[in-house]
Structure 1
Amino acid sequence: MTDTTKKLTTEQKEEPFLKLAFELGPLMVFFFANFRGEWLMNTFPALSVFGTPLLVATALFMIATVISLIGSRIVLGNIPLMPLVSGAVVMVFGALSIWLQDETFIKMKPTIVNGLFAAVLLGGLVFGRSLLGYVFHSAFRLDDEGWRKLTFRWGLFFVFLAVLNEVVWRNFSADFWVNFKVWGTMPITIAFTLFQMPLINRHTVNPAEEEAEES
């Protein structure tokens, strides 16, 4: 194996971990800032201007999100679509929460983001387009049926996450919602992703066969 090949292999292995770090970083900031909100406001009185511990956490979450997106652009050379959309919604709803001193907006952010993704994916299928393939084409090579099934499943999963977020924030405390957002949503998403592997394996297209069909 040449040095160039080794370098590419190392980069391919590191990239998913870097992406995960950039996505989890702001969530960790959000969790710990909310957990230590009172201490932060007592230690840094200027933060009291935001109002409640959750709104302090929201402000720091917004800053961490911007830093994460910039870091992703610098280190990875691009900003993935989902974190970009999520980051934009964080900015809008976080700003509304702080400006109006209403925690409802930031709590609704996951509902809006997941609902938007669901609408795009399921709406694309209505018009005969498996849009998930445009996002993950570099990671997987699936046949048309595979992309349709995977897009449909992810669309329904985003609907599930949107509904679940509404149930949690409307029926439980703010602290419980933050804990669920950080420690609940990610494991659920990882578990769902793993359950899709049999479908992906069944519909994976061999690159050699794909080239033969195109020629």
Structure 2
Amino acid sequence: MKFLFDLFPVILFFGVFKIAESDKSKALEWVTLYLSSFMADSTLQEKDAPIVLAAAVAILASLVQIGYLLLRRKKVDGMLWLSFAIIAVSGGATVYFHDGTFFMWKPTILYWCFGLALLGSQLFMKKNLIRAGLEKQLSLPETVWPRLNLAWVAFFAVMGVLNLYVAFNYPLDTWVNFKMFGGMGLMLVFIVGQVMFLSKYIKDEQ
């Protein structure tokens, strides 16, 4: 359930973009009606309306997400605040300049922030964030934890580059599909690989 909650802005972004892409003239009408006051000028083209509308909805969804947690007096973790900040800035720039390029950078910035947080904590604070999150569930040799942390750093670095490659070498619709399914699919493959790698240590401990 938490997984779906965390993906709420992404799912809404995908759904709104697909609907708007199927009727760009209607999307342009909605953007002109509700978002024109937030744009630098009125030169928005019909082809850009879907990404502008979807970006605005993603910002609203992320705001609702955090507002819900605050109203329930639940903790909003740092990663969620970071995600909101990046969505607000990249999505706001997309709406203001009606240019999807800003929002295409959002996953890369988020991936690289995650990677830098993991790497910086290990190098400068001597704290392994992966270990902090998993050591209650897993008992691993001391030498394995730094390797596991660095594996996640490498994964986030590669995902950031891959997002930019798809964003700027393929049609916008392809990038949206990759953002929704490709990123999650690759993360699932990576996690399965991690489980297979760690299984021998778990068996040894048992």
Say yes or no: TM over 0.5: yes
Gaps of 5+ in 2: none
Distance 1:78 1:190, change over 3 A: farther
| 1:27-176 correspondence runs (5 A) | 27-37=10-20, 38=24, 39-42=26-29, 46-47=33-34, 49=36, 51=44, 52-72=49-69, 77-127=74-124, 128-176=126-174
For residue 79 of structure 1, give the secondary structure of its aligned residue in structure 2.
coil
Q: Distance in 2 between matches of 1:138 and 1:80?
A: 19
| Aligned counterparts of 1:177 and 1:195: Cα–Cα separation in 2 | 25
Distance 2:52 2:188 in 1: 28
Q: CA deviation at 1:29?
A: 0.8
Question: Is the 1:142–1:205 contact (alpha carbons within 8 Å) kept by the matching residues of 2?
Answer: no
Count how many residue pairs are aligned between Structure 1 and Structure 2: 191
CA, structure 1 residues 83+143, in 2 after alignment: closer, same or farther (shift >3 Å)?
Answer: farther
Distance in 2, Cα, partners of 1:21 & 1:74: 19
1:41/1:48 contact within 8 Å kept:
no
Equivalent residue letter for 2:162: L
| Amino acid in the other structure paired with 1:29 | L
Q: Paired residue for 1:195?
A: 193
Structure-2 separation of matches of 1:202 and 1:111: 33
Percent identity at matched positions? 26
Task: Indicate if the aligned counterparts of 1:145 and 1:203 stay in contact, CA closer than 8 A.
Answer: no
Distance in 2 separating the partners of 1:19 and 1:134: 19
| Offset at residue 46 of structure 1 (A) | 1.8
Cα distance in structure 2, aligned partners of 1:101 and 1:194: 39
Distance 1:204 1:88 in 2: 38
Q: Structure 2 vs 1, CA of residues 77 and 205 (structure 1 numbering), >3 Å: closer, same or farther?
A: farther
CA displacement at 1:40 relative to structure 2: 4.2
Q: Kindly tell me: are residues 76 and 159 of structure 1, through their superposed partners in 2, closer, same or farther at Cα, counting changes over 3 Å?
A: farther
1:73/1:139 Cα in 2 relative to 1: closer, same or farther (>3 Å)?
Answer: farther
Q: What residue in structure 1 maps to residue 5 of structure 2? A: 22
For the structure 1 residues 141 and 73, does the alpha-carbon distance in structure 2 shift closer, same or farther, using more than 3 Å as the test?
farther
